[in-house]
Structure 1
Amino acid sequence: MEDTDLSQGWLPLLDHLDRQVSSGRLSPDTATLSDLMSIYQVPGVSIAVGHVSGQVWTAGYGVAAGGTSTPVTAGTAFAACSISKHVAAFGALRLVQDGVLDLDTDVGEYLTSWHLLDLEGRQPGVTVRQLLAHTAGLSDTWYRGYAADNAPSLLQVLEGSGPTTTPPVRSTLLPGSRFRYSGSHYSVLQQLMVDATGAPFDDLMQTLVLEPMAMTDSSFDQGFPHRRPDLVARGHHGGGTGVPGGWRAQPETAAAGMWSTPTDLLRLDLEIARAASANSKLLDRDLATEMWTPQIPGGTYGLGTEVVERVGRRRFGHTGLNVGYTCFSYVWPDSGFAVAAMTNSEDGWELLVSIRAAADRRYATTITAAPLGDVTGRYLLHDDYPIDIAVTNGQLTFSAPAQQPVALLAGPDGHYQHPGLDLEVWFPQANDQPRTLELRQEGVTQIATPATRQPD
């Protein structure tokens, strides 16, 4: 295990964070975490790094609220934003494991307090799996929260009634046909879990997830921050302006309403990693593997989990953005390390991606370059966009439609750079599957699959 002293490994990293992270390699444009906090006017940041062995390092930077001297500590709770979905999914899968829910059963079998309809008032065929994977095609919604004294109930959110500021939750796309990220999927999941068990959602999550994993600084109860105001980070808009009241209430708790710390979030991701290796008492291996298996071919989302699945670059977890807060929690399963970071600012994402990039460089395993002859052939980016890879004078050449062939520049870890474009390519292979060609341009990765015939 590397990083025998996590603080010695991470303190230098936080003094040299890369501000140009799209390439995945350290650039000369670096800044300290404190500098980035000042540039983006982020009052507070909390970070935790851990390993499946149980080793954990934590650090707090800045203050819990702008204009105060209350420091951020390991016990300071932040809004976990959409990481709430990740935790809620773990709870739902524990109900699947107990036989209370079935992943592929229609949600209508469980919902009794409210019924999911399409725009014409008909009941669509939607499964629990599709809710977890954001493939049910429900209303495109982002939840901005409410003042504590004007928050609707979850049923009002689903119905679009009372003080609710979002439209009614409806089926608007063909279920199962595509991925569309939306908090509405987890609002339906929340009501479904309540109806199926008869328990309030925050109590249910306490029993299924938080207590068994000793996540003592976490809660889905919207009264949680009011009971410990000195241990809660206040949210801030861009530019450092405080959120009125300190934070917003989120009746859509499964989608965006959890309060937590980076240390607690690590416990979840490391437990999923253990479960995927059949070393968890809470979740079996098959269900844990489902969590970080893309549910749409070529997709990047499993069951409540964001997935980066490239050979030697695997990580899973979740990111989050609420009014006043940003955060991420990821585990690199091949190395057994996890990193979580939370800020009390909507502008915190710029420094969070730099922290995540540092973790990628430190904990992602190395790709072994494939023999040149193993990667040659035709790949299809789209049906009408073939890419041909050949070997000329001992170098890989890259040919795209209407473009001149070019010799690629070999880089580390089996990656190749186009000499004239912001284009990086590599050739991953998962298990016994054929190699694919992955292209990254401006930080966006696309996958080209092998053609059925070789180029003429």
Structure 2
Amino acid sequence: MTARLDQAIDRAIVSKRIVGTVVLVARDGEIIYRRAAGFADREATAPMSEDMIFRLASISKPVVSTAFMRLVEEKRIGLDDPVTKWLPDFRPRLANGETPAITLRQLLTHTSGLSYRFLEPKGGVYHRLNVSDGLDQPGLSLDENLRRLGQAPLAFRPGEGWSYSLGIDVLGAVIAKATGESLPDVVRTRVTGPLDMRDTGFAVADPSRLAIPYADGRPQPVRMTDGIFVRLWDGGASFAPSRAIDPASYASGGAGMVGTAGDVLRFLETIRKGGGDILSPATVAAMMRDQVGPQAHAQGLGWGFGYGWAVLDDPSGTGTPQSRGTIQWGGAYGHSWFVDPSRKLTVVALTNTAFEGMSGAFPSEVRDAVYGRNGE
């Protein structure tokens, strides 16, 4: 496995698909592969190191979802509470003008009818309203972004579809309202603090260790600057890297955290083992169970969605060597991770290159190198 992973990483760097990466693999609780490769800052020829801090983007979602489920366990909040119990002014409508109830469970599972600007057609309502995906617009407040989001029509009646969305940002506002604490404080006291994830949060602990982000480009990735638009599929997303170091930017539950590969691995291993000191095994089992159905295609054919991540319902026909019950997600700044409970396997691959490190060939190459031809 080591040779295969080394080759996959080297190919991606030499071919200039990614600038730098940290890859960690754990089996049954033991780290069996660890490597930092490439550059954290290409222009300064600063090498990548294992303790580098990355803008985590959507790796924020599993952490915030876990903090939310902790509040459910504490009976501070209910999965089937309507959003309006906590945010009375957040009342998005259907296209026909009807205002349906949205539950917190629907926010958590992306079945609320909300969407993301980067998934909407150019010139669509999310673009006209200037809704932020939590990756751009430094200094924007959460109240203002929710005001904009609330004016956009829902894509479908809540509970009747699946669409990746800003639901976790809305959930972050609910968490703050329900507890009387800030979202960063709730995440720190319920998740990152107990797990000693010292470099992971909504503020950068050590700016000197913050990796420079890059965007896909030819002949090589380009250094990101605020306002850069990076193409993805038929659309793309706007990024503002300075958002991570701007204390006036709202704490985006879906995209606003920073952290290290080691911290992410520690968190995922805690989930794999049943929740440790942060969640009960029953809650973790519910989070790792598909709550939506494989028709969601949350990571393509055969993938449903649990609480915080996609869940592999049926590996047949997917081309993946992963086992049924594998959970997986990524991050727009160029990250991927998965946990295969059947094989007691956890893999974290953080890069500083969007979108290759999230949705290019690199995540699949890392995955296939881990399993090998014989699935081992």
Distance, in Å, in 1 between the alignment partners of 2:56 and 2:66 is 15
For residue 43 of structure 2, what is the aligned residue in structure 1? 67
Deviation at 1:288, TM superposition (A): 0.8
CA contact (8 A) 2:293 2:305 kept: no
Cα distance in 2 for partners of 1:361, 1:195 equals 47
Secondary structure of 1:255's counterpart equals coil
The 3 A distance-change label for structure 1 pair 364 and 98 is farther
Please state how far the C-alpha of 1:285 moved relative to its aligned partner: 2.0
Residue 142 of structure 2 aligns with an amino acid whose one-letter code is L
Listed as ranges, the gaps of 5+ residues in structure 1 are 1-8, 18-32, 161-165, 366-456
Inter-CA distance 71–140: structure 2 relative to 1 (3 Å threshold)? closer
Once residues 296 and 66 of structure 1 are traced to their aligned partners in structure 2, the CA distance between those partners, rounded to angstroms, is 42
Shift of 1:155: 1.0
Structure 1 residue 216 corresponds to structure 2 residue 236: no
Of residues 138, 147, 167 in structure 2, which corresponds to 1:185?
167
C-alpha separation in 2, matches of 1:344 and 1:336:
27
In 1: Cα distance, 2:309 partner to 2:134 partner: 21
The 5 A counterparts of 1:2-81 are 9-10=1-2, 12-17=3-8, 33-55=9-31, 57-81=33-57
1:324-378 Cα shifts (integer Å, max 9, x gaps): x21012111012120101111113332222102223448968xxxxxxxxxxxxx
Range that drifts further, 244-253 or 137-146: 244-253
Inter-partner Cα distance in structure 2 for 1:49 and 1:269: 11
Tell me which residue corresponds to 1:356: 367
Pick the aligned partner of 1:234 from 212, 220, 223. 212
**Residues 261-304 of structure 1: per-residue CA shift (max 9 Å, x gap):** 221111122111111xxx62321122111212112233411111
Quick one: which of 301, 308, 317 aligns to 2:328?
A: 317
Report the AA paired with residue 257 of structure 1: G
The code of the aligned residue for 2:16 comes to Y
- Give yes or no for contact 1:262–1:329 (8 Å, CA) kept in 2: no
Distance 1:361 1:335 in 2: 13
Which 4+ residue blocks in structure 1 deviate beyond 6 angstroms? Answer: none
Name the structure 2 match of 1:257.
256
TM-score (norm 1): 0.65
Structure 1 residues 360 and 56: alpha-carbon distance in aligned structure 2, compared to 1, 3 A threshold:
closer
For residue 108 of structure 2, give the secondary structure of its aligned residue in structure 1: helix
Shift of the alpha carbon at 1:122? 5.6
Superposed CA RMSD:
2.5
Q: How does 1:356-375 map to 2 (within 5 A)?
A: 356-361=367-372
Please state how far the C-alpha of 1:186 moved relative to its aligned partner: 1.1
Structure 1 residue 53, shift from structure 2 partner? 3.0
1:337/1:280 Cα in 2 relative to 1: closer, same or farther (>3 Å)?
A: same
**Offset of 1:202 from its aligned partner?**
1.1
Q: Name which of 292, 296, 300 aligns with 1:296.
A: 292
Deviations 1:18-68 (A, max 9, x none): xxxxxxxxxxxxxxx222223234221111112343546421101112211
Contact 2:134 2:252 in 1 (8 A): no
Give the equivalent residue in structure 2 for 1:427: none
Which residues of structure 2 form unaligned runs of 5+?
119-132, 227-239, 244-248, 297-303, 316-321
Equivalent in the alignment of 2:338: 330
Q: How many residues align?
A: 322
Q: Distance in 1 between matches of 2:134 and 2:87?
A: 25
Q: Which residue pairs with 1:414 in the alignment?
A: none
Is contact 2:51–2:260 with CA below 8 Å preserved after alignment? yes
Q: Give the secondary-structure state (helix, strand or coil) at the position aligned to 1:283.
A: coil
Following TM superposition, by how much is the alpha carbon of 1:152 offset from its aligned partner in structure 2, in angstroms? 0.7
Q: Deviations over 1:380-413 (max 9, x none)?
A: xxxxxxxxxxxxxxxxxxxxxxxxxxxxxxxxxx
Shift of 1:139: 3.6
1:102 equivalent in alignment to 2:78: yes
Q: Tell me which residue corresponds to 1:247.
A: 241
Write the letter of the residue equivalent to 2:223.
Answer: G
Decide whether the 8 Å contact of 2:90 with 2:150 is kept in 1.
Answer: no
> Structure 1 residues 294, 72: closer, same or farther in 2, change over 3 A?
same
- Report SS of the residue matched to 1:282: coil
Q: Equivalents in 2 of 1:141, 1:56: separation in Å?
A: 39
Q: TM-score, normalised by structure 2?
A: 0.78
The SS at the match of 1:82 is helix
Matched, 1:146 2:127: no
Conserved 8 A contact 2:134-2:256: no
Task: Please tell me whether the aligned partners of residues 316 and 330 of structure 1 are also in contact (alpha carbons under 8 angstroms).
Answer: yes
Matched, 1:132 2:108: yes
Higher Rg of the two aligned structures: 1
